[in-house]
Structure 1
Amino acid sequence: MAPVGSKLSFQQLVEAMLYKAHRCTKPSRLNKYSASELDAMEKKLQISLSLIRGVRNLLQPINRLPPELLTLIFRQTQLHLPDFLPIRDLSASGWKWLSLLQVCRHWRGLIASTPELWSILDSGMLPERFLKRSSAVPLRVYLDLKLNYLPEDLLESIASQSIRFRELHLNMNAWQSNATIFHHFKDPAPSLSGLTLVIDGRDITNGHLPQLFSGEMPSLRKLCLKHLTSWPKGYFQNLTHVCLYDQNELTRPSMDEFLDFISSSPFLEELALVRAGPTRMTEGSSHGPPSRIISLPHLRQLDIGAWASASMVARFLSHIRVTSKVDMYIWGDGMLNAPQPDSETPASLASLLPEDISKLENMRPIKKWYFARQPRVILDTPFVSVTGAADIEGRTLHMYGTFNASQVIPTQLLSRYPVSNVESLTVRDSCMDTNGMNILDIEFWRSILQGLPELQKLEILAFRSIGFTRAIVGALMPQHATDAQPRPPLCPKLTSLTIEHDVSLPAYSIRTMIEARAKCVPPAARLEFLRVLVFDPNPQSVRQRRRRLRSMSVSEAGSSIGSHSDSEATGLENEVRTREEEEYRLHTEDDRKLLEGCVEISGEVRFEYGVPLSVGLVPDNWPTAAYNFTRGRRGS
């Protein structure tokens, strides 16, 4: 053993520990060390074991990576939100990356000493620590004062770093102070590129934004404002993304004022106006052709949501010129479903567009049209959109909502919407009233199809829409002139037909229509492809029968044991279900044989089972980010 106080080797430390473990058998040798000396040896042993574990950890393959590369991997585990309309994840999943601090000492030290990993400052997640560890790197700041209380001194510390702000997303609806919150943000923000200000109007006079960052925000490109309708002169120019929503109704801008605003941002790429924008009527502004046109050559997306009337939308659209690349979404009950001020009926969908749409190049060429009258089961907001690339495939028009028949008068729709080049039409109608007052009948569809001479593909999504398929098939049936000679059929280029199997597929009517059309067109123009989507029997009818049988079984059971009645009812339910499915299968098989026997179909007849029905009725990007953000879908 080494003398007391000398430096011990690792082997000597281990030996000392063994002596300590066997002190009962060798007390004489153990007595050579005092308790303090043994404690010192134990501490050194622990340090040595820690060093061994550290070296072993560094030998792991991932820890052999350069620290810079490992840091990049860590950054990929963080939640990255868009700098425009960021929808925050308020659950713990947004901060799971912090668990990396618990993996090992090497990772903990690397993370703690990397300022970029602490550059997302959130009022709900240790803002003091993030502010300190972020050092001097640019900051993305999320301050939700509605959910998280911040002392004024901490808010002042954060605001004092405005020179580092890259983004600021501030929800100040619940700010509690005698002074306005804006006095904290008085220093310039030269690097600020994204700004979101959500406020309910408290401490705001006439919707006017007080001075912010001394007006020095030269890099600002993306802006989202709630409630605010005006700001100091010179603010908010050269923007690329703008979202205004829930503006003060009394101080919303006039058309000229709003056109001045957007004209100051010639590179505007995205514009969202939700219950906001030039919706304040001014005398004489709605009469005659527009005297001022603003060109937006860089615009890529336009959202107009929940305006007071369709005529206001049309008036605004008449003042702008956009390219064929703009995706446009117009939604809201007030302008699409609610009665208009001068009428007891909702506005026509045609009134959303100005009479002259030549400046709206995104409205042509429309090659696909989706028209769906759908109850509020999946989506609760009606909308009209024009999306897609203006190339060979062309643009796509979507109309989705609980539209009244008076809103979709064919002559009005065809006069405003340029659908004469539509090659693909998908229709869905499940809003027919039982009293027959809201039905889109044969004459309606005949008028619509008459305006689609280039139509090649038709999809009828008729599941649970009794009579819908018959109406369209009837419209496609050739009519006879006075000399008994058949007229040229509507949509002479139609070669593909898809039909959802509704409660009763009108197979005989479909075959009769196909045979009649075949007599009026050359062989090359006959129907090439017929596709029928088959699903289960009508679930509503089956459920009603089961409930009726169950009630009958229970009443007839009388004094029988309840469990026996339930078992008997279950057996009856299974019997009904089996019979119903068998009848449906037999009818479907008969329909398939009838249609396959139609020699006038030059191509394939296909019955497909188990295919999801009535899909693809909305654009891929619906609902849009502006729709979700302004609806409050941020978890807050």
Structure 2
Amino acid sequence: MSAGQDGSASPGDACQLVGPLYGLPPLQEPLVPPQGDSRTGLSRAAISDRLQAVRDEAERLALSALWNATSPINRLPNEILTEIFMFFTKRDDGGFLPLWALHKPRDQPKLAPSARPFGWLPLTLVCRHWWAMARTTPTLWRTIDINEQRGQGSLLRLALQRSAGAPLDVTFYAARRALAAFPLLMPHVSRIRKLVLPEAEKTELAALCSVLDHEMPTLNSLTIYGDRDLVPPAEATVDPTAVPAGHLPVALPPSRFPSLAYLNLSWVVLPTQCPFPPTLRTLTLMSCTYERATPLSEFLKTLEECRALEDLCLEGLPMNLSFDHIPSKAAIKLPNLKHLVVSEDRASRVAHFLGALHVPRDCSLSFSARHNQPDPLQFSSLLPRDFKSRFPVLASAQFAEIFVTGMRVEMSLGGGSSLQLGQGPVPENRWSSLGELSAVLDSSRLTRLSVCGDISIAEEDHWRSLFKGLPNIEHFHLGCFGTNMQRLFIALSPASDSTSSATLPEPVGKSLRHIAISGGEWNDSIMDALKTFLTSRMALAPLHTLRLEFRFKNEAEFLAKKAIFLAEVAPSHPSGALEFEAPHGYGSGRGSVSVTLDLSQLANEDED
């Protein structure tokens, strides 16, 4: 029997099997050279050891995975994990904005260059469980931010898929990317809960606002930044009430947006006949205008229909409003209003609008204007004649904080209420406006006053006028940039116009009991004015506390001035507390010394 017949293969047959017919090269030599029992180059013992090592490593990894699965970080419920992830976004007008979104006043949000598409994304690197949870949680994918970078279409497609049927919060930061994303977004328009449309020129803006032609039953928050060219520049000679050609009005019929609660419109044209949705809780208008001249009464009517309104912010009333006379009986009521902000170039427009409005007693107020030409700009210029009965928060204020700069004078009354005046044609008007505080506030209630900022132009007459109108001030704080604070002490010191007079005239600010002054460098003129003030006041209206905080060149100067001050002032200030302090952090090379002194204790130490 031949080799082929008994089933055995000869070397020639093997060569035929691996030949070109089977696509393999001819066999030139045995695949495994014969080496006895160790043909692989390893002994059986070595192979067994290596196999056991692999098994040990696999068991270690399995135990490690089991251990990780039982650790607290991997056993947190998905509900808690979702809250942790959502902590990296903040609520804003009923929706969400990433923490890494950078806001600018009167401008749309800007994204940081290194901003990630989702603020919570780095948390997915903690462990596989966290990543799996994030990938399958629709609420984490519903917040979609489309910036100017490429690849935003893929991001939007992924977010729409993984958000499943969850309501969407969509923010566009660039008009071009928004228009490119609309074809993907339109099938999901009924899911949009929050929508932010970016600043755009008029043709792009019209295309962006086309999304509002659809029924949006879920929409809760809408922000449109509009076109800056809608507002003519200050130096332009065109009629500021005229609507530039080509701008289409943004209509928001209530039937199309039944859930809209937060509305923020900037630089857009408002339709005259279309009211705001009555479901609004927050309304912000900035530099908007109507499609044609509209009387104030029509604007008030649209506001009155928003019975649920809680926050009203008007950063500029609609530009082409005509201020028709509104009888006091026809003034509208906003019964649920909690915060009211009105800012205008001309103070008279603010006062006219406020004269047609009734708000609850606990409503916080913020009014501001930049001029009142040709009349001087005063705090009272912002208010209607019957403001004391219309805005009781002004009459009940017990504390006022005044902040003065070269650009504005702002008065805060606590509780979020404030009045602000822009820079007038004459800088001195900033201080004359403080003299009429008693005409705005109830001077019998006001007991605490703080003045901060640039007081370099404040004269003695300004201070006397201020304290004469506010006779019940007990606590006064002065934080200043200027170096003329000695004028304050001179103004508060009773001056005798006759050397033969046995008594001094009644001083202004006679109710003052606590004074705190910070800022400025200590000098001899301040020392002299302060000594005169303390000496003259002791017999008539003694202070309880006086706290001084000044800058010194070094610690040696501070200690020397402190010793002189105490030696000359302590005898005339036998009781009460005095603080003489050199503050921290006032420039390089300055001393950093702080001390609190009780003059009654110092007097006892001197006797010892």
Check whether TM > 0.5.
Answer: yes
- In the alignment, which residue of structure 2 is the partner of 1:233? 274
Q: By how many angstroms is 1:267 displaced?
A: 2.6
Given that 1:530 and 1:604 are in contact with CA atoms closer than 8 Å, whether structure 2 keeps it comes out as yes
Q: By how many angstroms is 1:215 displaced?
A: 4.2
Whether 2:347 is the aligned partner of 1:301: answer no
Whether 2:132 is the aligned partner of 1:132: answer no
- In the alignment, which residue of structure 2 is the partner of 1:516? 536
Q: Aligned with 1:464: secondary structure?
A: coil
> Take 1:135 and 1:529, find their aligned partners in 2: how far apart are those partners?
65
Q: Aligned with 2:398: secondary structure?
A: strand
Structure 1's 151 and 27: CA in aligned 2 closer, same or farther, altered over 3 A? farther
Given that 1:449 and 1:490 are in contact with CA atoms closer than 8 Å, whether structure 2 keeps it comes out as yes
Q: Aligned with 1:370: secondary structure?
A: strand
Show CA shifts across 1:574-611 (max 9, x none): xxxx7xx6456423431233222323x53111112215
> Take 1:273 and 1:495, find their aligned partners in 2: how far apart are those partners?
40
> Take 1:503 and 1:472, find their aligned partners in 2: how far apart are those partners?
14
**Which of 164, 171, 185 matches 1:142?**
171
- In the alignment, which residue of structure 2 is the partner of 1:382? 408
Show CA shifts across 1:392-439 (max 9, x none): xxx97676876622344365443234344221122245354xxxxxx4
Q: Aligned with 2:177: secondary structure?
A: coil
- In the alignment, which residue of structure 1 is the partner of 2:107? none
Q: By how many angstroms is 1:506 displaced?
A: 2.3
> Take 1:178 and 1:365, find their aligned partners in 2: how far apart are those partners?
46
Q: By how many angstroms is 1:200 displaced?
A: 0.7
Which one-letter code corresponds to 2:184 in the other structure? S
Whether 2:86 is the aligned partner of 1:75: answer yes
Which one-letter code corresponds to 2:145 in the other structure? D
Show CA shifts across 1:273-331 (max 9, x none): 11x3255463754xx975632223322222223x2211111111222222343332334
Show CA shifts across 1:35-57 (max 9, x none): xxx9xxxx999999976664343
- In the alignment, which residue of structure 2 is the partner of 1:218? 258
Whether 2:357 is the aligned partner of 1:320: answer yes
- In the alignment, which residue of structure 2 is the partner of 1:471? 487
Show CA shifts across 1:218-254 (max 9, x none): 1111100112242362442231111101224885753
Given that 1:350 and 1:417 are in contact with CA atoms closer than 8 Å, whether structure 2 keeps it comes out as no
Which one-letter code corresponds to 1:384 in the other structure? E
- In the alignment, which residue of structure 2 is the partner of 1:353? 383
Aligned pairs (5 A) from 1:6-405: 23-26=40-43, 54-83=65-94, 88-89=101-102, 90-91=111-112, 92=114, 95-124=118-147, 126-146=155-175, 149-150=177-178, 152=180, 154-171=181-198, 173=200, 180-200=207-227, 208-211=248-251, 215-231=255-271, 233-248=274-289, 251=292, 253-274=294-315, 276-280=316-320, 282=322, 285=325, 290=328, 292-305=330-343, 307-331=344-368, 335-336=369-370, 340-342=372-374, 347-357=377-387, 358-375=389-406, 382=408, 384-389=410-415, 404-405=427-428
Q: By how many angstroms is 1:29 displaced?
A: 12
Given that 1:499 and 1:531 are in contact with CA atoms closer than 8 Å, whether structure 2 keeps it comes out as yes
Q: By how many angstroms is 1:272 displaced?
A: 1.2
Which one-letter code corresponds to 2:438 in the other structure? L
Whether 2:545 is the aligned partner of 1:529: answer yes
Given that 1:84 and 1:222 are in contact with CA atoms closer than 8 Å, whether structure 2 keeps it comes out as no
- In the alignment, which residue of structure 1 is the partner of 2:106? none
Q: By how many angstroms is 1:70 displaced?
A: 3.2
> Take 1:57 and 1:75, find their aligned partners in 2: how far apart are those partners?
24
Which one-letter code corresponds to 1:149 in the other structure? R
Given that 2:479 and 2:517 are in contact with CA atoms closer than 8 Å, whether structure 1 keeps it comes out as yes
> Take 2:161 and 2:380, find their aligned partners in 1: how far apart are those partners?
57
- Bigger drift between 406-415 and 79-88 goes to 79-88
Given that 1:425 and 1:459 are in contact with CA atoms closer than 8 Å, whether structure 2 keeps it comes out as yes
> Take 2:417 and 2:91, find their aligned partners in 1: how far apart are those partners?
31
Structure 1's 485 and 29: CA in aligned 2 closer, same or farther, altered over 3 A? closer
CA root-mean-square deviation: 4.0
Aligned residues: 505
Whether 2:518 is the aligned partner of 1:494: answer no
Q: By how many angstroms is 1:80 displaced?
A: 4.5
**Which of 575, 584, 592 matches 1:602?**
575
Which one-letter code corresponds to 1:360 in the other structure? F
Structure 1's 266 and 214: CA in aligned 2 closer, same or farther, altered over 3 A? closer
Higher RCO by CA contacts (8 Å cutoff, separation 6 or greater): 1
Given that 1:533 and 1:611 are in contact with CA atoms closer than 8 Å, whether structure 2 keeps it comes out as no
Normalized per residue, which structure has more strand?
2
> Take 2:250 and 2:454, find their aligned partners in 1: how far apart are those partners?
50
Given that 1:156 and 1:184 are in contact with CA atoms closer than 8 Å, whether structure 2 keeps it comes out as no
- In the alignment, which residue of structure 1 is the partner of 2:454? 430
> Take 2:202 and 2:41, find their aligned partners in 1: how far apart are those partners?
69
Structure 1's 475 and 484: CA in aligned 2 closer, same or farther, altered over 3 A? same
Q: Aligned with 1:597: secondary structure?
A: helix
Structure 1's 457 and 69: CA in aligned 2 closer, same or farther, altered over 3 A? closer
Given that 2:515 and 2:545 are in contact with CA atoms closer than 8 Å, whether structure 1 keeps it comes out as yes
Which one-letter code corresponds to 2:532 in the other structure? T
Structure 1's 128 and 516: CA in aligned 2 closer, same or farther, altered over 3 A? same
Higher gyration radius (CA): 2
Q: Aligned with 2:345: secondary structure?
A: coil
Structure 1's 481 and 70: CA in aligned 2 closer, same or farther, altered over 3 A? same
Show CA shifts across 1:170-216 (max 9, x none): 21516976972333443322222111112117999686534568942
Structure 1's 29 and 463: CA in aligned 2 closer, same or farther, altered over 3 A? closer
- Gaps spanning 5+ residues in structure 1: where? 1-20, 31-37, 376-380, 390-394, 433-438, 538-577, 614-636
Given that 1:327 and 1:386 are in contact with CA atoms closer than 8 Å, whether structure 2 keeps it comes out as no
Structure 1's 250 and 114: CA in aligned 2 closer, same or farther, altered over 3 A? closer
Given that 1:271 and 1:303 are in contact with CA atoms closer than 8 Å, whether structure 2 keeps it comes out as yes
> Take 1:28 and 1:323, find their aligned partners in 2: how far apart are those partners?
91
- In the alignment, which residue of structure 2 is the partner of 1:415? 439
Give the TM-score of the pair, scaled to structure 1: 0.69
Give the % identical residues. 22
> Take 2:80 and 2:192, find their aligned partners in 1: how far apart are those partners?
26
